[in-house]
A = this chain, B = another copy of it.
Amino acid sequence: MHVTLDAVIVAVTDDRPKVLTVSAPAGSVPRLPTGVLREDDRTLEAALRRFVVDETGLDVGYVEQLYTFGDSERQPGGERLLSIAYLALVREAAPSADAAWVDWYDLYPWEDHRSGRPPVIPELIAPTLDAWVGEARSAPERSRREERAHVVFGLGGVAWDGVRVLERFELLYETGLLEESTARRSEAVRSLALQGDHRRIVATALGRLRGKLTYRPVVFELLGETFTLSQLQELVEALSGARLHKPNFRRLVEGAGLVEATGTTAPTGGRPAALYRFRRDVVRERPRPGVGTPWTRG
């Protein structure tokens, strides 16, 4: 059995969340940075940090274990391949030459709702899911399928839940909408592929990160020491894929004690913006400190 560590390294630049990939040999699709455990790695996390520096030149900050993938279909025919996936967050983005940042929303175009619901959903995804529901052999199976489609894609009156990235990916995968090859290519959702099941792994990371935002102050791992509230808001919007209500967002983060003003300002297009910093003390005061999501309708 082969065991690897796979790293989902996330950064956000210009309001685009990105994941780091390394280019595979000629003509093939990109893949995640991957390494193997060595005897002298005391912990899994240490091993991850070690090979990420080796392979990408990046010294990552926040690191968290995501999930271990080991289904036999991952490596059809061959030896079983076990991948322990990690999520890592970095502030800046200057990896070595053979690494490249890939935009999350090129991998999952249906996930970016910042300018309203992406057209792929009503135009291609929803009709295909409807057909898939109709193809069910029995009535209970039909209603299970319908519920699943509605819940994961926010159809039929169910609210969109940004966290269900993996469930959406898996549903599209099962219904053939991500088929990269041959026959159904024309009906597939236009999106970027990664090697093997790496796109599934990144989907797991994205969902986890969206969830964690709301109850742990992880956003600040992606920001510099000081920032304006607009920068913070745009970052949260980029990650969550949703537009937020500005006046309320400001009050929420200040009111929750997540940030404090530094007293300095930064120039902008209009009135200069006050600079803030993360208030570490917030973890003493609140049980679940994070950035909530005061939605604004697209």
Is A58 an interface position by the 8 A CB rule? no
Copies in the complex: 2
Find chain B residues with CB under 8 A from A161 CB: 287-288
Is A267 an interface position by the 8 A CB rule? no
Q: Do B42 and A70 touch across chains, with their CB atoms under 8 A apart?
A: no
Find chain B residues with CB under 8 A from A285 CB: 158
Find chain B residues with CB under 8 A from A156 CB: 284
A157 in contact with B3 given A41-B72, A65-B67 (CB within 8 Å): no
A84 in contact with B72 given A1-B37, A151-B284, A284-B158 (CB within 8 Å): no
Instruction: Please classify how large the interface on chain A is, using the bins under 10, 10 to 19, 20 to 34, 35 or more.
Output: 20 to 34
Find chain B residues with CB under 8 A from A158 CB: 284-285
Chain A window 1-32, contacts with chain B (Cβ cutoff 8 Å), 1 for yes, 0 for no: 10100000000000000000000000000000
Find chain B residues with CB under 8 A from A157 CB: 284
Q: Do B39 and A80 touch across chains, with their CB atoms under 8 A apart?
A: yes
Q: Do B3 and A82 touch across chains, with their CB atoms under 8 A apart?
A: yes
A-B pairs with beta carbons under 8 Å apart, 11 shown: A37-B70, A37-B80, A39-B72, A39-B80, A42-B71, A43-B70, A44-B68, A65-B68, A70-B84, A147-B284, A158-B285
